[in-house]
A and B are shown apart, each in its own frame.
Chain A
Amino acid sequence: MSSDIRDSLRHHSTETALVTGNPTFAGVTADISAIAESKTPRAWYIAIAITGSLALMFFGLIVHLILTGLGVWGINIPVGWGFAIINFVFWVGIGHAGTLISAILFLLRQRWRTSINRFAEAMTLFAIMCAGIFPAIHVGRLWVIYWMFPLPNQMGVWPNFRSPLLWDVFAVGTYFTCSLLFWYVGLIPDLATFRDRAKTKIRRIVFGFLSLGWRGGNRHWRHYELAYLILAGISTPLVLSVHSVVSTDFSVSQLPGWHTTIFPPYFVVGAIFSGFAMVVTLAIILRKIFKLQNYITLFHLEKMNKIMLVTSLMVGYAYAIEFFIAWYSGNQYELFTFINRATGNYAWAYWIMVSCNVLIPQLFWSKKIRTSIPAMLIISLLINVGMWFERFVIVVTSLSRDFLPSSWGDYSPTIFDLGLLVGSFGLFLTLFLLFIRFFPVIAMSEVKTVIPDAEVHRER
């Protein structure tokens, strides 16, 4: 690190404390490890009983779906995609914040990210898992879905590399793999800490295995930091590419309302927007339950709220420019689609989207609201509602009213669609609960670099 950066860091950390309460190195380890090592709280059992049931329901519904057919959903011709694709895009979007926080903010030397990157990354992984299930189960014949992969075969039949759905397979697959690696590499020093603190044999074996023989030696640290930096470098373009590619699922088609060039940046911004909202939601709950207020401070939350404010404005700009271009293009189908979005029979969804994504986040201009925990909890939840509806509006309104009025048709979800949406939250939260119970929710080794103790040593 150059001395300039070091200066700026020092300056930064002295301006606003990234960690409050002045914990010591040992204190950080003790605080964070306690979450995973103390006796399992009753609340956790209750919580996982609920989310686990929902997750089981999720898988039960999938089994029913596979046994019966896609007809159990509300999809039809013309609306061939429904909740499954909406949920897919939604969850992929959620999965944006984690890697963005870990990789991009790491490269930008935003050291405040250390308190939140671990669970944000975990959230990313779980969101991508939820996301990945939907495109798989939404196909008519799940049992031949491996044809989507370019597997050499004796018939010489390959997937169609012109199809954005195939790009999706690669984009999401790569993103998940890199995010997993990045998260895991980041975990190694903390897993070693857990191993060293383990009191049961099982913990010793499991964490011993997972920590890959980490001893904290200087060479380890050097390789580790380099690997982390490289992975951050690899992950950074993926953050931008994954949702750009997801957006091509729509923008490559001919459908009015889908066929627009603004989609890639618009989707990426929307994803970051919804991802941060989800991080804030989880962070508020985490710090409250596990008393992590010293680690995840108001300062962190406010920063994220500011990002949400900015991305909200960008999303709002995208909404506006879509309308403008629809009019400016002189394409009657395009113009009709957008007028229909705002005034047609799905106008309610459109206005939920606009209110939650553009209007309500403007409250963050006020410092008071920006730093109010209840306010930001409500707003972040509403943003995710809004972002879900954004995908609903894109998928459903465009499909339900395309070129030939004769084939227009409406879409309404069935109980199975709703069940899978709710169930995916169950799965997500179950995985998250397991994560906080068994893994360090905050990157101890990284936090230690931003506590006052670290500063002192460095100064000396």
Chain B
Amino acid sequence: MMKKNNQDRQWRSFREFAESGNNAHVEPSEFSDESFLKEHFPGAIESAGDFVSRRSFLSLMSASLALAGLAGCRRPVEKIIPYVIPPEEVIPGVPQYYATTMPFGLQSFGLIVETHEGRPTKIEGNKDHPSTRGLADPFILASILELYDPDRSQKVMNNGSVSDWSDFDSYWKIIFDTHLADRGKGLAVIGSSFNSPTLHHLRRRFLDTFPEAHWIAYEPISDENILRGVEAATGEPQLPEYSFDRARIILSLDCDFLGSETGAIKNAANFARSRYPDIESNAMNRLYCVEGNHSITGAMADHRLALPPSKVEIFLLMLIDGLKRLDLSLPAKIPSADITIEFDRKFVEVLAADLFANKNHALICAGKTQPPTVHALVCLLNSLLNPENELVRYNRLPYALIPDTVAFNSLMTQIKAGHISTLIMLDTNLAYCAPADIDFAQAVAGVRNKIHFGTYYDETAALSNWHLPAAHYLESWGDAVSIDGVRSVAQPLIAPLYGGRSVVEIAAQLAAGQPENGYEIVRRTWRGIIEDSFEFNWRKVLHDGFYSESTPNVARPDFTPLGKYLAAEPFSSAPDIRHGLELTFIQSPSTYDGRYANLSWLQELPDPVTKITWDNPARIGAALARNLDLRDGDMIAVNNQGAVLELPIIVTPGIADGVIVIELGYGRTAVGRVGNGVGFNTFRLRRSQDPYFVNGVAVAKTGGRYKLVCTQEHHSMKGRPLIRQADLAYFRSHPEFASEMVEHPPLKSLWKEPELTGDYQWGMVIDLNSCIGCGACTIACQSENNIPVVGKEGVARGREMHWIRVDRYFSGSADSPDMLFMPVPCQHCENAPCEQVCPVQATVHDHEGLNAMVYNRCVGTRYCSNNCPYKVRRFNFFNYTKSMPETLKMLQNPDVTVRSRGVMEKCTYCIQRINRAKISAKIENRRVSDGEILTACQQACPTNAITFGDISDSASRVSKMKSDPRNYELLAELNNRPRTSYLARIKNPNPALVDNHDTIPLQRQDERKSS
């Protein structure tokens, strides 16, 4: 939604931020002063979020006059002036958009942030930034909630009591001087990994100041294996980047490249592009997936082989054997797989032939859980299958601090030996996420000075001498390099809400002994990056969000070191198949590694596969569940070499037999009111030797039961024509198969239909062939439309509020099922069943075809929901916003009504965005152009599966999509005439691997089975 007339504002923004940055610490704004907050909002910090106590209610009421100013005070200006003289270019009610950057480990995402009168309210991808191209994932979208999280750390803490920054500054000066004397002996920093020029410089400066000190990175989930594998192959740690848009055959080896892998947003967009089923050409890609977990990538696979992650390496060797037989010449000696594993051998033969036949269009990717050997072999195979090497790009990481488990382990040994006297933990929660066998809390007990810098007063903060509150990235100056080498600056959108300092400022303080201004630090770095006319280009970088001169750091590896590496036969460890079950650890799609545990949006976002919210049960396949006699919610005790954890299970069809998938990131004890005590701390099962998967695990049923809460309890389509799917070959011969699947009598209405006479007729198409089920649409909608969360109990009662949900169905056999996704927003039926039954006309049709919901008029009979065949309406059973903390009120989108108790709500097609576009079109005396309005879900969708627009304009994208032969309407036989339609899903299986019956559309198969 960046429009031309916003550009000036963005220019404008930089100066304001710059000034605020200049003065932020010299002259903190009156309202950010903590004593002021404490004095005027005594309850806001401690008790907000719970039911309002009488005391806090009264104090909030008494401070209500000040509240009006509170919203404005977050403008990054150093003097509070009345709005009588408004800031230039700020029109109250008209949002402004600023570019910034979100760092995320080695990755970073270019963003555009919508702000209303100085309050950031919504995060969107930056269309021009190569890392997002305007798209987003749930973490990015929900990070704005973290900004306002009232549970974020708000105070400097010294040994458990409240302190302040000046105390810490003088303390650190002493420590700094001490270590200057001993050249940094006994001084260590464990941080999270980064890919940032400024932090890179600061770290170097720190190590120059303290030559004997350490500054290493540890990440519980990282690309370390990939980097080590590529290093083995090329001599340098480089991050491979795949061009899925140009690949015709893709093999994923335990690689959830659409979901949890680095670059997933870009991958998903590119994958969807080459997945388009064209009747004419043969361009649709084919995905083979070999994986232990059932991931969303596995759901998109045309052929999926469920294999424990430990056996992927053997599978790869078998594949190499197959390729060798096809005369693919290998430059290095690679042993044959001496252990074979049980699966259909035909799979590997056909796969090898397919890869070989599609040379230069075939691509293999391996997941970060796989050992370096696999990655080295994948590098080799990719170079052989793509002699021109166009599909894989290897990116150097010159500004990165790469996570290093070896260095971490040796540092921990030093710590245990008592060699470290000062330990600084930068933005990392080791007490929670370090491997269980390290016993971090015990290990650091003897360290004299422990300093923790982080967003929350977390598990690690609790055992540190000093805790320093970190500013959110939307409050901080910083910079980052995306994995493809684009350098960007992160500019603050708001002054720190809770008085935190940015990671850049802390790093500078560590290196220099004195606190420094973040803005100055970043500018200093960028003086070395921007080559000429600094001020002009600096402003341009802030405006654009990235430095357009960036040249990707593409490496041109020749794989010479690989021969030597393989000659050493690094495979010996792979066929280590112990008896027992196999654990595989996955990152959480909701909390990542636990860092987002306090974000209620993400906690309530149903897992894409299990649809579980607010929990992390162990996932097991149907066969294992049968063998162990386990049902959903049964407790098991998992014993991994002495580390025992009891947790519930959920049966997830498609998980490899003998594999237990363990989701990390839950069971936090010190994160905040939302995340504390949610789920099970599975890090306790993780050991440093095998962090991603481990064999020989014992499992016992304990007999206990646990209440799991799920947004979807029925997983089969019951033979109903909901998600319509066919094979490519069948689609070619029957292009209209989807709309022909349901036969019904002529559809006639009981009464004369009102004519829809509007200038525009809005409609939506959702391409089920592209949807990967990630849930970004749900979070984007939640953020845009002020959708409340209802908590675990609310979801258990079936009262989740999401306006767009992603339905997930399984079809086929329980052991090798298909997983299908279907996003369901309000269908905006022209002949809407909800409208007809509302006694007070609270839901009515507008002349542009929108099914409008009039909250003011709603009395809450819920009849509309009962009569909605799609069940997309959501009811406010309680006043879900009653106890909303003050800071979260700042997050609400002022263009969308916050709904009261007792009213129905539902998707509006983002009517506020429609109206905003219509208003600006009217001012400019033109029609709204196609693509000018993006609904929030559409905007975020990483695969561009959602298209919205004017269906009365035959040239619009949405009209073209509606004329696609795959187009069908869900439950069209009810004569609802939904405005939202779907494009059927097409699979592209290899004819050599399918029996004939598979070419029949999915629906028919189900019918045949049931009859």
Interface string of B854-871 (1 = CB under 8 A from A): 000111111101110111
CB distance from A80 to the nearest CB of B (A): 4
Please determine whether A140 and B841 come into contact, CB atoms closer than 8 angstroms: no
Q: Is the CB of B860 within 8 A of A165?
A: no
B839 contacts A406, CB within 8 Å? no
Nearest A residue (CB) for B611:
A406
- A409→B713 contact, CB < 8 A: yes
Asked if A159 is at the interface of the complex by the 8 Å CB criterion, the answer is: yes
B902 CB-CB contact with A under 8 Å = yes
> A418 an interface residue at 8 Å Cβ cutoff?
no
Confirm or deny: B838 has a beta carbon within 8 angstroms of a beta carbon on chain A.
Answer: yes
Which residues of the other chain, A, contact B875 by a CB distance below 8 angstroms? 70, 77, 80, 140
Contact B860 A77 (CB under 8 A): no
Q: Are A77 and B798 within 8 A (Cβ)?
A: yes
Q: Given A78-B798, A139-B861, are A69 and B870 also a contact pair (CB < 8 Å)?
A: no
Q: Does B171 contact A (CB under 8 A)?
A: no
Complex Cα spacing A70 to B862, Å? 11
Q: How far, in angstroms, from A296 to B838 measured CA to CA in the complex?
A: 46
Q: Would you call A105 an interface residue if the criterion is a C-beta within 8 Å of the partner chain's C-beta atoms?
A: no
Q: Number of residue pairs across A and B with beta carbons under 8 Å?
A: 160
Interface locus among B529-537, B655-663, B717-725, B731-739: B717-725
Whole-angstrom distance between the Cβ of B723 and the nearest chain A Cβ:
10
Question: Which residue of the partner chain, among A81, A144, A402, contacts B859 with CB atoms under 8 Å?
Answer: A144
- Stretch of B585-593, B636-644, B700-708, B876-884 on the interface side: B876-884
Interface residues of A in 331-378 (CB under 8 A from B): 332-333, 336
Q: Is A206 close to B, CB under 8 A?
A: no
Q: Does B628 contact A (CB under 8 A)?
A: no
Residues of A close to B860: CB separation below 8 A: 70, 139-141
> What sequence of 0s and 1s flags, for each residue 812-850 of chain B, a beta carbon within 8 Å of any chain A beta carbon?
000000000010100000000101111111000000000
Question: Which of B716, B859, B878 lies at the interface centre, i.e. has the most chain A CB atoms within 10 A of its CB?
Answer: B859
With A78-B798, A140-B860, A165-B861: A148-B839 Cβ-Cβ less than 8 Å: yes
- In B680-713, the 8 Å CB interface with A consists of 712-713
Q: Is A217 an interface residue (CB 8 A)?
A: no
Bound Cα distance A140, B809 (Å): 33
- A158 vs chain B, min Cβ distance (A): 7
Whether the Cβ atoms of B867 and A148 lie closer than 8 Å is no
Q: Give Cα distance in the complex from A219 to B30, angstroms.
A: 88
Q: Are B865 and A409 in contact (CB under 8 A)?
A: no
Question: What does the 1/0 interface line of B22-53 toward A look like (CB < 8 Å)?
Answer: 00000000000000000000000000000000
Minimum CB distance partner of A253 in chain B: B867
A138–B865 CB distance below 8 A? no
What residues on B are CB-neighbors of A162 within 8 Å? 836-837
Q: Chain A residues near B70: list those with CB within 8 A.
A: none
Contact with A along B891-933 (1 / 0, CB 8 A): 0000000001111100000000000000000000000000000
A163, B808: Cβ atoms closer than 8 Å: no
Contact assessment for B862 and A140 in the assembled complex, using a CB-CB cutoff below 8 Å: yes
Q: Across the two chains, which residue of chain A brings its CB closest to B902? A: A140
Interface pair B808/A254, CB less than 8 Å apart: no
Q: A159–B862 contact, CB under 8 A? A: no
The answer to whether A408 touches B866, judged by C-beta atoms less than 8 angstroms apart, is no
**Residues of chain A contacted by B328 (CB below 8 angstroms):** none
- Expressed in whole angstroms, the minimum distance between the Cβ of A308 and any Cβ of chain B is 31
Residue pair A70, B870 in contact (C-beta under 8 Å)? no
- The interface residues of chain A lying within 8 Å CB-to-CB of B722 are 404-405
Closest beta carbon of chain A to B970's beta carbon, Å: 8
For residue B463, CB closer than 8 A to chain A, the reply is no
A141 near B903 (CB under 8 angstroms)?
yes
Chain A facing B: main interface SS: loop
Contact of A404 among B713, B871, B901 (CB under 8 A): B871
Cβ A141 vs Cβ B859 within 8 A: yes
Taking a contact as CB atoms closer than 8 A, the residue among A158, A249, A253, A402 that contacts B871 in the complex is A402
A141-B902, A157-B841, A169-B839 in contact; A405/B717 too (CB < 8 A)?
A: yes
Tell me if B873 is interfacial: C-beta within 8 Å of chain A. yes
Which residues from A are CB-within-8-Å of B799? Answer: 71, 76-77
List B contacts of A325 (CB < 8 A): none
Q: How far is the CA of A403 from the CA of B867 in the complex (A)?
A: 11
Contacts of B863 in A (CB 8 A): 80-81, 163, 165, 249, 253
Of A138, A157, A253, the contact of B861 (CB 8 Å cutoff): A138
Q: Which of A77, A148, A249 has the most CB of B within 10 A?
A: A77
Given known A76-B799, A255-B867, contact A141–B837 (CB-CB < 8 A): no
Q: Which residues of B contact A255 (CB under 8 A)?
A: 866-867, 869
Contact B718 A336 (CB under 8 A): yes
- CB of B866 within 8 A of CB of A253, answer yes
Instruction: Tell me if B201 counts as interface (CB < 8 A to partner A).
Output: no
Tell whether B324 is near chain A: CB-to-CB under 8 Å. no
Interface membership of A62, Cβ < 8 A = no
Would B876 and A140 count as touching, CB distance under 8 A?
yes
Using Cβ atoms and an 8 Å threshold, which residues of chain A touch B904? Answer: 140
Once bound together, how far apart are the Cα atoms of A116 and B974, in whole Å?
48
B971 at the interface (CB under 8 A from A): yes
Contact with B along A137-177 (1 / 0, CB 8 A): 01111001101100000000111101111100100000000
Contact A252 B718 (CB under 8 A): no
Q: Given that A145-B859, A159-B841, A405-B718 are known contacts, is A68 also in contact with B903, CB under 8 Å in the complex?
A: no
Q: How far is the CA of A402 from the CA of B863 in the complex (A)?
A: 14
Residue of A nearest to B712 (CB): A406
Question: Please, which residues of chain B bring their CB within 8 A of the CB of A406?
Answer: 712, 714, 805, 807-809, 822, 824
How long is the Cα–Cα vector from A407 to B720 in the complex, in angstroms? 14
Measured CA separation A157–B901 after assembly (Å):
22
Could you tell me the distance between the alpha carbons of A148 and B841 in the complex, rounded to whole angstroms? Answer: 10
B859/A147 in contact, CB under 8 A:
yes
Q: In the complex, A333 Cα to B719 Cα: how many Å?
A: 10
Question: Are A77's CB and B837's CB within 8 A?
Answer: no
Contact B797 A147 (CB under 8 A): no
Smallest CB-CB separation from B711: which chain A residue?
Answer: A406
B1009 to chain A, nearest CB (A): 14
Neighbouring A residues of B874 by C-beta, 8 Å:
77
Cβ of A399 under 8 Å from chain B: yes
A79 on the B face (CB < 8 A): yes
B212 to chain A, nearest CB (A): 60
For A69, give its contact among B713, B867, B879 (CB under 8 Å). Answer: B879
Q: Does A75 contact B (CB under 8 A)?
A: yes
A161 to chain B, nearest CB (A): 9
In the bound complex, what is the Cα–Cα distance between A78 and B869 (angstroms)?
10
Q: How far is the CB of A75 from chain B (nearest CB, A)?
A: 7
Complex contacts, B835 vs chain A, CB 8 Å = 160
Which residues of B sit under 8 angstroms from A208, Cβ to Cβ?
none
User: CA A138 – CA B797 in complex, angstroms?
Assistant: 17
Closest approach, in angstroms, between the C-beta of A421 and any C-beta of chain B?
A: 19
B839, B863, B870, B901: residue with the most chain A Cβ atoms closer than 10 Å: B839
Measured between alpha carbons, how far is A218 from B601 in the docked complex, in Å?
Answer: 78
A419 at the binding interface (Cβ < 8 Å): no
Residues in A neighbouring B837, C-beta threshold 8 A = 162-165, 252-253
Q: Mark A13-39, 1 if CB is under 8 A from B, else 0.
A: 000000000000000000000000000
By a CB distance below 8 angstroms, the chain B residues around A77 are 798-799, 865, 871, 873-875
Nearest neighbor of B856 in chain A, beta-carbon distance: A144
CB of A74 within 8 A of chain B?
A: yes
26 inter-chain pairs at a CB distance below 8 angstroms, sorted by A residue, are A69-B878, A70-B875, A70-B877, A75-B862, A76-B797, A77-B798, A78-B798, A80-B862, A80-B865, A81-B862, A139-B902, A140-B860, A140-B876, A147-B857, A159-B840, A160-B835, A163-B863, A252-B837, A253-B833, A399-B866, A403-B971, A405-B717, A405-B720, A406-B712, A406-B807, A409-B713
Question: Ordered nearest first, which 8 A-B pairs have the shortest CB separation?
Answer: A140-B860, A140-B902, A76-B798, A71-B877, A80-B862, A407-B871, A406-B807, A165-B839
Q: 11 new A-B pairs (CB below 8 Å) besides A148-B859, A407-B712?
A: A70-B902, A76-B799, A139-B861, A140-B902, A141-B901, A158-B841, A165-B861, A166-B839, A253-B833, A254-B974, A399-B866
Residue positions of A touching B, CB distance < 8 A: 68-71, 74-81, 138-141, 144-145, 147-148, 157-160, 162-166, 169, 249, 252-255, 332-333, 336, 399, 402-410
